[in-house]
Amino acid sequence: MTSAAATVLASATDEHLASMSNTLIYSSMAVYTLAFFAYIFEWLLGSRSRVARTANALTSTAEAKWTGPAVTVNQAGGTAVLERPKVVVRAAAGSRDVPDGPGAHGGDEQGDLYGRIAISLTVLAFLVELAGVITRAASVQRAPWGNMYEFNITFASVAVAVYLTLLALKKNVRWLGLFLITTVLLDLGLAVTVLYTASEPLVPALHSYWLYIHVSTAIFCGAVFYVGAVATILYLFKDAYENKLENGGKPGNFATSVLERLPASASLDKFAYRVNAAVFPLWTFTIIAGAIWAGSAWGRYWNWDPKETWSFITWVAYACYLHARATAGWKGRKAAYLAMIAFGCWLFNFYGVNIFVTGKHSYAGV
């Protein structure tokens, strides 16, 4: 076979793989849509149950665990009587004594069944999407992170992988499914319509092993930051709901039906803090790895390129959040607002800088 014929055959193979990748991505979107409806049914069927009554029963059960008399202790030959200790349902300093909700299914058996079906469909969609990402990589014969389309489809698969990993570790995060899949569908829809870019070779500056190190960690950090942001948003709603109840207010039926099934605000706050704190060191490494790559590609470790600048701004924002979260006076809603500002910086760093700002990181259009 001549070299020209081999080139034509290789080109045809790459085009076939690229077409197969597109088909797999669209197929994953179809399965994600089925999972979305299954999550919806889980919430709808769960709304039929008396969620508030379940929560009250949990609180009553916890308070009823202590049925003995008041505690007596000996003091200097005499007897002192202490008050009965208070049962704390949520063991968090300074938080309300509020139990976690029963979950999206609300204790309904059919709701729980649809929830498990939704998880199964999510796993299937993730595997199909992962196959699409791998096929895209095969079609371009490189890591599939050369433009925003490839970054988006990889980011969506990693975000779902983080969620499924938490479930596999038996963490109470099934309530996250509906919100996650909704935004994953939006992300993939944006990728295949607005951000789609045909397979192209990388520019010379990107031919480096640092592509695999720097970009892969950036994608993983973004996915974890996203999970933390969803938990933070839900925390803000749940905290406002608990505040209203504490002050004698009566939330609407829809708010009660949804928010009573979520974990307590203290649990959501703790979850968001832990995931953000866990991935922050890796984001620090991502910036350092990018600087090392810049020194190799451009001759300078730091050029104040828009992407570099906003990566640093994002780092500072999350550092402020973590510091505020560890400071007693800034726990709760104030720290949560900082977390949302930090995630907003990350979003602008990805979408805003890539679309509206030109810099050294502008390669293949978007």
The three-class DSSP label of residue 155 is: helix
CA dihedral of residues 231, 232, 236, 238 (deg, nearest 10): 20
Quick one: which of 169, 47, 182 has its CA closest to 118?
Answer: 182
Model confidence pLDDT, tens digit, residues 319-355: 999 988 887 667 788 899 999 999 999 999 888 887 7
Q: What is the pLDDT of residues 176-225, one digit of tens each?
A: 999 999 999 999 999 999 888 887 766 666 677 888 888 899 999 999 99
- Return the bridge partners of 72, or none: 81
Tens-digit pLDDT profile for residues 124-174: 999 999 999 999 988 888 888 878 898 899 999 999 999 999 999 988 899
pTM of the entire predicted model: 0.80
Element (H, E) at 74: strand 72-75
Q: What's the sign of the alpha-carbon dihedral 305, 309, 311, 312? A: positive
Say how far apart CA 145 and CA 101 lie, in whole Å: 39
Alpha-carbon distance of 48 to 298, in angstroms, equals: 61
- Beta-carbon neighbour count of residue 295 at 10 Å? 13
Q: Which residues contact 243 (CB under 8 A, 6 or more apart)?
A: none
Mean pLDDT of the chain: 80
What angle, rounded to 10 degrees, do the helices at 306-325 and 333-347 form? 170
